[in-house]
Chains A and B, each alone.
Chain A
Amino acid sequence: MIDENINILELCKKPSRFETVKRVSSEWSGMDYLGSIKCRISNSFRMKYKIEPGLYAVGEPNENSDVFASANYKLSFDILRKALKGLNAWILVLDTKGINVWCAAGKGTFGTQELVKQANKVKLNSILSHKRIIVPQLGAVGVNADEVFKKTGFRVYFGPVYAKDIKTYLNAGRKKTSEMRKIKFSMFDRIILTPREIIPAIFKFFIFAFVVLLFFGIQPKGILFKSAWYCGEPFLLLGLTSILAGSFITPVFLPFIPFRPFALKGWLIGMLLTMFLIFLFNFQEQKNILILVIEILFFPMASSYLSLQFTGSTTFTNMSGVKKELKIALPVYLISSVISVILLIIYKLHKLALI
């Protein structure tokens, strides 16, 4: 998938020795754009979106050109090569198992060891006459600059967080402003991260819908579709609403929703929407107090759970905080689910005139 962008650059450092290096274009092809979109949507696609580790050339680099380290997640690589447009530079791709720099650095695959290994493997020493490697700042989570220096003699420069700042950074003599060091998390960032929350939630919703329809469908005369739909419909609508609340509205409007814990943010939005829907539709079955209690207990909670999942996509939540949230939230989720199920069973037995 990358071959269309590659040709071979022949290096001739010493007349007796030729080296060949793959050269990539800094333009994106249609396929590259398509891939960048697919990565946001499909987990399985993203997991396989890799390129070969090793050294690549952009433009006409020589022994004085800068080297940028990158991950072998193709999107990370693509973003970097696009940002290097018009420059002559090297890209050293580490084997991060197809994962982006930050996540891989957290796991240690984008790390000191791998950087040293790739630098040795491509014989960076023999290609360059300088001793600098520019590593994306977020790579610092896994790369210990001092150790790389001790093992290879190369000095690690932590470049800007965002590839778009690379040129400014280079022009300033490899200096970052404090703005270039900061990771941002704009509303746009959050919006494009939501499909990854919504899609798995929809899959869970199908299971939920099946169980709900089956449950309400069960009648003395067998399973009746009409009663399944009549009684189940509000639950299905409310279920979809909690996905909207927890996986879309809460993430997108994150900073504007009161409370710091994600579980509370999600619960609040879930509660507001659930109430809104209940009053709006004024379903027949809600005249039943049991059903009303279940709805108010369960759906805001589902939204809360989904919002908590979004902590995995943010750039500012920390492990200690999420652990603290989970310690309280998980028992609450468990208890309210159990209560909801018990109430449902009571409701059903009552309907069937068994109690």
Chain B
Amino acid sequence: MRYIKNVASLKFFAEKCTNCLICIDVCPHGVFLLKNKKVEVSDKDLCMECGACALNCKYGAIFVNSGVGCASGIIKGMLTGGAPSCDCGGPSSTECC
């Protein structure tokens, strides 16, 4: 499933990447791919801006403006002037651990 095109804030700086593969390991949407022994972004539109890749990339090769993709959380953030936050149980789908 894909969300709106060309909105994700994900940026990948190939020149800093050491191909350590951590990003591939942590991304729940398979945004990063290994191609000809080099890591690249396969499809930016799949990115949900969770921020796992940027947090775990030791080499600063990834930037993403991470946050919740949740309407009521964002509205709340707008009203209170703070960062969007949700207090929903989140995607506690079937057997997410």
Contact = CB atoms under 8 A, between A and B. Distances in A.
A321 B55 contact: no
A189 B89 contact: no
Interface size class of A (residues with CB under 8 A): 35 or more
Which of B3, B68, B71 counts the most chain A CB atoms within 10 A?
Answer: B71
Given A145-B56, A320-B65, A321-B8, 15 more contacts: A99-B89, A99-B90, A138-B28, A138-B52, A138-B96, A140-B55, A146-B56, A164-B95, A182-B29, A182-B30, A312-B90, A313-B88, A316-B46, A318-B49, A319-B49
Contacts of A313: 70, 88, 90-91
27 contacts: A79-B95, A79-B97, A100-B90, A100-B92, A102-B96, A107-B85, A137-B52, A138-B96, A162-B95, A163-B95, A163-B97, A185-B93, A188-B94, A261-B4, A309-B71, A309-B72, A311-B71, A312-B69, A312-B86, A313-B70, A317-B69, A318-B9, A318-B69, A319-B67, A319-B69, A320-B9, A321-B8
B63 to A, nearest CB: 13
A73 to B, nearest CB: 8
Contacts of B91: 102-103, 183, 185, 189, 193, 313-315
A75 B57 CA distance: 30
A92 to B, nearest CB: 13
Interface size class of B (residues with CB under 8 A): 35 or more
B74 A321 contact: no
Contacts of A178: 30
Contact of B2 (A143, A144, A188, A260): A260
Contacts of B14: none
A185 B1 CA distance: 8
B27 interface: yes
Nearest to A310: B71
B1 A319 contact: no
B50 interface: yes
For the complex of A and B, the 8 pairs showing the least CB-CB separation, nearest first, are: A312-B70, A103-B90, A163-B97, A317-B69, A140-B26, A319-B67, A140-B52, A189-B93
A254 B74 contact: no
Contacts of B66: 106, 141, 319
Which of A76, A99, A192, A312 counts the most chain B CB atoms within 10 A?
Answer: A312
A337 to B, nearest CB: 15
Contacts of B1: 185, 254-255, 314, 316
Contact of A325 (B4, B22, B52): B4
B48 A46 contact: no
Contacts of B67: 106, 319
A76 B97 contact: yes
Contacts of A325: 4, 71
Contacts of A316: 1-3, 29, 46, 48, 69
A326 B56 contact: no
A315 B26 contact: no
B93 A319 contact: no
Contacts of A322: 69-71, 74
Contacts of B93: 184-185, 189, 192-193, 315
Contacts of A142: 55
A80 interface: yes
A350 interface: no
A176 B27 CA distance: 12
B88 A196 contact: yes
A183 B55 contact: no
A160 to B, nearest CB: 8
Contacts of A348: none
A188 B93 CA distance: 9
A103 B89 contact: yes
A75 B92 contact: yes
Contact of A312 (B49, B50, B73): B73
Contacts of B62: none
Which of B8, B9, B88, B97 counts the most chain A CB atoms within 10 A?
Answer: B97
A311 B65 contact: no
